């Protein structure tokens, strides 16, 4: 028997080697095909740039009823009070003052404490103010690194506001204003591209033409008051103020500013898409 097998192998040496080689090739090739099918792509999947169309169905809360208070009165001497960087524990104090004075304002909010003070956001909306977007993180090195970062960040905040009020704002203020040059550090030309894209997609961005300067250190209420009343003029006055948690003196300056303005024939309005655009000169 042994002799027969040995004899057979010797006789058919070449075909046997060829068959074994073929079998090995078939096994290797099928392994390669299996791997090829299960292999993950090497590149990272990039989500498309989110441009808001309003078509996505997010959870919407019960519509908040807007109270018939704080009406906008537009005249040839109109003041638009704007508060950036909130909400914070100070926001309700500002809302109380506005209600007492029966005037509207505009709040450019961030995500920082948005759910902690979601009732303040609801109040803004219900009491006929404009709830507007400042950006979610307010982090320059993130939002100004790319358009995608900026719009993803903005969209996050927009959906958060929508969860609270049932409405997706289209009024925007860029952190640092549209004239900021700090963004050059992160991306050349980013502000030009962002503002173009905002405008093309029916968003309305607003800067200011009067700065209370309350962002620069801890100013007294008297200095904030002077910074504002010395600059108000005929026409459109968009006043920059802040309602972040360190700006207590801003809330203290608010009543004297409103009293002065009313006494001098100014009216108050909230920013809407029809408000005259106050745009800084874009430098990046
Ligand atoms: Zn800000």
pLDDT at position 61: 60
Percent of the chain with pLDDT over 90: 76
Distance 199 CA to ligand 1 centre (A): 20
Q: How confident is the model at residue 63 (pLDDT cuts 50, 70, 90)?
A: confident
Phi and psi angles of residue 141, each rounded to the nearest 5 degrees, phi first: -70, -15
Q: How far is the CA of 265 from the centre of ligand 1 (A)?
A: 30
Tell me, in angstroms, the distance from the centre of ligand 1 to residue 19's CA. 75
- pLDDT tens-place string over residues 127-168: 999 999 999 999 999 999 999 999 999 999 999 999 999 999
Angle at 217 between CA 214 and CA 219, to 5 degrees: 55
Q: Which residue has the higher pLDDT, 51 or 178?
A: 178
pLDDT (mean) for 121-127: 97
- Average pLDDT rounded to a whole number, residues 71-92: 98
3, pLDDT greater than 80: no
Q: How many angstroms is it from 208 CA to the middle of ligand 1? A: 12
Tell me, in angstroms, the distance from the centre of ligand 1 to residue 66's CA: 27
pLDDT in the model for residue 41: 44
* Residue 175 CA, ligand 1 centroid: distance in Å: 5
Mean pLDDT, residues 46-61 taken together:
45
CA 106 to centroid of ligand 1, rounded, Å: 13
Mean pLDDT (the chain, rounded): 90
Helix (H, G, I), strand (E, B) or coil at 78: strand
pLDDT for residue 60: 52
Query: Rounded to the nearest whole angstrom, what is the distance from the C-alpha of residue 47 to the centroid of ligand 1?
Result: 27
Measure 48 CA to ligand 1 centroid, in angstroms.
27
Count, in order, helices (H) and strands (E) of the chain.
Answer: 9, 8
Contacts of 63 (CB under 8 A, 6+ apart): 166
Q: pLDDT, tens digit, for every residue of 232-283? A: 999 999 999 999 999 999 999 999 999 999 999 999 999 999 999 999 999 9
Q: What is the pLDDT of residue 6?
A: 76
69: alpha, beta or left, given left = phi > 0 and alpha = psi -120 to 50? Answer: beta
């Amino acid at each position: 028997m042994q002799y027969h097998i040995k004899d057979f192998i010797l006789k058919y040496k070449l075909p046997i080697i060829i068959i074994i080689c073929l079998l090995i090739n078939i096994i290797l090739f099928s392994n390669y095909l299996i791997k090829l099918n299960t292999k993950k792509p090497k590149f990272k999947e990039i989500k498309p740039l989110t441009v808001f169309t309003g078509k996505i169905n997010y959870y919407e809360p019960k519509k908040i009823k807007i109270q018939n208070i704080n009406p906008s009165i537009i005249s040839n001497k109109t003041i638009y009070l704007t508060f950036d960087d909130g909400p914070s524990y100070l926001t309700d104090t500002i809302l109380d003052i506005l209600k007492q004075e029966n005037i509207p304002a505009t709040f450019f909010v961030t995500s920082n404490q948005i759910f902690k003070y979601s009732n303040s956001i609801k109040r803004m909306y219900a009491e006929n103010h404009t709830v507007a977007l400042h950006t979610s993180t307010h982090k320059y090195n993130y939002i100004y690194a790319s358009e995608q970062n900026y719009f993803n960040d903005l969209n996050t905040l927009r959906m958060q506001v929508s969860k609270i009020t049932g409405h997706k704002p289209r009024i925007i203020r860029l952190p640092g204003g549209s004239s900021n040059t700090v963004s050059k550090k992160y991306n050349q030309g980013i502000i030009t591209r962002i503002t173009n894209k905002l405008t093309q997609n029916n968003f309305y961005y607003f800067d200011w033409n009067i700065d209370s300067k309350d962002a620069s250190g801890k100013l007294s209420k008297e200095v904030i008051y002077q910074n504002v009343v010395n600059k108000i003029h005929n026409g459109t006055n968009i006043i920059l103020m802040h309602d972040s948690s360190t700006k207590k003196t801003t809330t203290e300056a608010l009543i004297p500013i409103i009293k002065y303005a009313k006494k001098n024939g100014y009216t108050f309005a909230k920013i809407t898409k029809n408000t005259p655009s106050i745009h800084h000169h874009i430098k990046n």
